[in-house]
Chain A
Amino acid sequence: MSQDTLFDKVWDLHKVSSLPGGSDQIFIGLHLIHEVTSPQAFGALKDKKLKVKFPDRTVATVDHIVPTDNQSRPFKDNLAEQMIETLEKNCLEHKIRFFNIGSGNQGIVHVVAPELGLTQPGMTIACGDSHTSTHGAFGSIAFGIGTSQVRDVLATQTLAMNKLKVRQIWCDNTLSKGVYAKDLVLHIINKLGVKAGVGFAYEFAGPAIHELSMEERMTICNMSIEGGARCGYINPDEKTFSYIKNKLYAPKNEHWDRALRWWESLKSDENSIYDDVIKLDASKVEPTVTWGITPGQSISINQQIPLLDELSPNDKLVAEEAYEYMSFKPGQLIKDTPVDVCFIGSCTNGRISDLRVAAKVLKGKKVSKNVKAFAVPGSEKVATKAKQEGLDQIFKDSGFQWREPGCSMCLAMNSDKLIGNQVSASSSNRNFKGRQGSPSGRTLLMSPAMVAAAAINGKVSDVREFIN
């Protein structure tokens, strides 16, 4: 059992009681909600005649269902309109702070909370969304929950949970040029497998992680869940603190000094005990692309899609399913696979640094005429910043559509969807069957820079050939 890791410390700090069955009751410091997984929770509160216990500890925004072309109300999609109205009504009734469209602070919940300074080290953070692990980039313990648990957090600000084990993933050296956080996390998931993280929190550490910016760290922690780990985190450091400083909800003045003193004490001890430790060499990671139907089915840009014989017995069943669904032949190169749609956005890669790196690749170039390409900023703040920097113009000049903030084609709950068996080069997080809105649509996950390169060439390309 782990000892003295950041996870242990934050868990112990938030433990309210040991429940009769043997699980722990954990206090949730920050609860984030959105329109898709909260309405039934508010409904259940009403049925049970309960109130929201600490309305100030819950913050809401709207992201999954929002259209990214025309956001005027009422939305064209009646069901989407009904969902946003329900959230508006629930927030108003329960006095919950809500960042609505046009507030300047709306966006994907996992982009919004960090950029507002709501996400802070040492907190427990829960949200009815599996990518809540993103917030672990700040040294908080953050995890996704279901709707019944959203109800429990609203009613009690606590959850019944079993403590997770802790696996340290130590990344030596640094990433090479043209290789990004997305490539590293896809590489990690490939090496460990999509279910290795079940029952674990992942602590990402080592020189390669230390080097990463806060936004890159968010990309890493965001995809912990794709490796099966409900929670992923990084010990906070100077980068963490300077990212938070002066954000809207960051501690101010004397509160800042107190916060900083506490945060600086928050990290895994040097001699802390882990349930497992994995080491890998980040300098060996290359631009990485998924070829299959799980985020673990990835290869380097110059590799061939694995033969069945090269895979472990446990991976064969899903590989066979993937060859068929993706219409790929074992042994085929992934490079030069034609793509129909290019999508840059999502809680994994929809932040300003993602748009900057893609714009750098796109500048002065044109999107292939066979490709529909669109960029969806992660939040209104990201969109504003991108416009200030002229990034939107670079995207538009290249032939990308520039859209309004939301989750968009990561999960296709709005009208941004693949059609038929289109192939999408996507900066999102899941390549599951049907994930991007068409039951036969095919998704290739990659970094935003690689999506930009694919958009220009109309096929999967090595971004290193664009950036010298």
Chain B
Amino acid sequence: MKSEFTQPIGKISNVNGQCIPLIGNDIDTDRIIPARFLKCVNFDSLGESVFEDDRKTLKGKHPFDLEENKNASILIVNSNFGCGSSREHAPQALMRWGIKAIIGESFADIFYSNCIAIGIPCFTLPKKSIEEIQNYCDNQFLFLEIDLKKSLAKSKDLNLNLEIRESSRKMFLTGEWDATSTLLDNENLIENKFNHLPYIKFNSYYS
């Protein structure tokens, strides 16, 4: 485990850090954080259990156990990362281990929403570019400077045009990724919607 964890807050326009590549398609959230660690009423201690079973199987050779990755913060993954269970414990565990951004071929929908909601930008790149990054990381450290304003990632050797959903990019730049207060701004519209939905009147929850 790393030094102290601080939750992201407010506008996020840059993420700078060392990359940690994790190879594999369809890595599900059960693997990111096995269900037995979901028996908790807060997320605080999840960081040390991230990929617990995969790490045990690989006996110290899992990327999250390698000494050279201990300060890494940008996770590089392949396709359909985070599929399966909706557990937010998965991105929470990654974040508490030290991950601040993820670049991959593709992400599962619920995992992606969860990352946005807790302040982890997720970017996509074509398969070929991801493989290039993974190969690059085989022999040397890769430090990336990610600029959300330009959707660019730079290192001394690489310039990558990252893709990110425009609404997500804007949410990070404005700080509205923490959506509650933005949603509450429309309180009158919410009340109005509630009053006009056809089924509110005829369902009998109140009986």
The interface of chain A, by Cβ under 8 A from chain B, is: 13-14, 16-17, 19-23, 25, 27, 29, 36-37, 39-40, 43, 48, 50, 53-54, 56-57, 64-65, 77, 79-80, 82-83, 86, 97, 118, 120, 122-123, 128-130, 132, 143-149, 151-152, 155-162, 194-195, 198-199, 225-226, 228, 230, 249-252, 255-256, 258-259, 262, 294, 314, 317-318, 321, 411-413, 430, 432-435, 437, 439-440
Instruction: Name the A residues within 8 Å of B186 (CB-CB).
Output: 16-17, 25, 158
How distant is the Cα of A80 from the Cα of B83 in the complex, in angstroms? 25
Name the interface residues of B28-52: CB closer than 8 Å to any CB of A.
28, 30-31, 34-36, 38-43
Given A14-B193, A56-B206, verify A21-B167 contact (CB < 8 Å). yes
Whether B171 contacts A21 by the Cβ 8 Å rule is: yes
Known: A82-B41, A148-B88, A412-B35. A259 touches B199 (CB 8 A): yes
Contact assessment for B30 and A435 in the assembled complex, using a CB-CB cutoff below 8 Å: yes
* Cβ of B25 under 8 Å from chain A: yes
Q: Is the CB of B194 within 8 A of A27?
A: yes
B86: interface (CB < 8 Å):
yes
Q: Which residues of B contact A (CB under 8 A)?
A: 24-26, 28, 30-31, 34-36, 38-43, 53-54, 56-57, 78-80, 83-89, 91, 106-110, 113-114, 117-118, 165-168, 170-171, 174, 176, 179-180, 182-184, 186-187, 189-190, 193-194, 197-207
Contact (Cβ within 8 A) A439 B56: yes
Q: What are 28 A-B pairs at a CB distance below 8 A?
A: A14-B197, A16-B193, A17-B189, A25-B186, A29-B199, A36-B38, A37-B87, A48-B180, A53-B190, A79-B40, A83-B41, A130-B84, A145-B110, A147-B88, A148-B88, A148-B179, A155-B183, A158-B186, A162-B165, A195-B108, A198-B106, A249-B207, A430-B85, A432-B84, A434-B31, A435-B35, A437-B36, A439-B53
Q: Is the CB of A20 within 8 A of B190?
A: no
A13-B25 contact given A149-B113, A156-B180, CB 8 Å threshold? no
Q: Smallest distance from the beta carbon of B96 to chain A beta carbons, Å?
A: 13
Chain B residues with CB under 8 A of A14: 193, 197
Residues from chain B with Cβ under 8 Å of A48 in the complex: 180
Residue from A17, A37, A82, A143 in contact with B88 in the complex, judged by beta carbons closer than 8 Å: A37
Complex Cα–Cα for A21 and B118 (A): 16
Known contacts A16-B186, A195-B26, A294-B26; A22/B167 CB under 8 A: yes
> Closest CB-CB distance, B183 to chain A, in whole Å?
4
Q: Is the CB of B42 within 8 A of A43?
A: yes
Q: Which residue of A lies closest to B85 (CB)?
A: A130
- Chain B residues, CB < 8 A from A439: 34, 53, 56-57
User: A43-B42, A122-B199, A435-B30 are known contacts. Are A413 and B36 too (CB-CB below 8 A)?
Assistant: yes
Q: A250–B207 Cα gap in the complex (Å)?
A: 10
Known: A39-B42, A122-B198. 13 other contacts (CB 8 A): A16-B186, A16-B189, A19-B182, A21-B174, A54-B194, A97-B205, A146-B87, A146-B113, A147-B114, A160-B183, A194-B80, A252-B207, A258-B201
* Across the A-B interface, the 6 shortest Cβ-Cβ residue pairs: A146-B88, A146-B114, A148-B117, A21-B170, A255-B202, A144-B86
Assembly CA distance A435 to B56 (angstroms) = 15
Contact A22 B86 (CB under 8 A): no
What are the residues of chain B within 8 A of A23 when measuring CB–CB? 167, 171
The reply to whether B26 and A146 form a contact with Cβ atoms under 8 Å apart is no
A residues less than 8 Å from B36 (CB atoms): 412-413, 437
CA A56 – CA B179 in complex, angstroms?
22
* Shortest Cβ distance from residue B161 to the other chain A in the assembled complex, whole angstroms: 20
Q: How far is the CB of A27 from chain B (nearest CB, A)?
A: 5
Contact of B110 with A130 in the complex, beta carbons under 8 Å: yes
Q: How far is the CA of A225 from the CA of B28 in the complex (A)?
A: 12
Kindly list chain A residues whose C-beta atoms are within 8 Å of the C-beta of B91. 146
CA distance A129 to B35 in the complex (A): 13
Identify the interface centre among B43, B84, B86: most chain A CB within 10 Å of its CB. Answer: B86
Q: Which residues of B contact A122 (CB under 8 A)?
A: 198-199
Is B25 in contact with A262, judged by CB distance below 8 angstroms? no
Which residues of A sit under 8 angstroms from B174, Cβ to Cβ? 20-21
Complex contact A318–B182 (CB within 8 A): no
Q: Name the residue in B85, B167, B205 with the highest tally of chain A Cβ atoms < 10 Å from its Cβ.
A: B85
Min C-beta distance of A141 to chain B, whole Å:
13
Inside 8 A of B87's CB, which chain A residues have their CB? 36-37, 146
CB distance from A85 to the nearest CB of B (A): 9
B12 to chain A, nearest CB (A): 13
Q: In angstroms, how far is the closest chain A Cβ from the Cβ of B27? A: 9
Provide the residues of chain A in CB contact with B166, threshold 8 Å: 21-22
Q: Quick one: closest A residue to B166, CB to CB?
A: A22
A160 near B109 with CB under 8 A, answer no
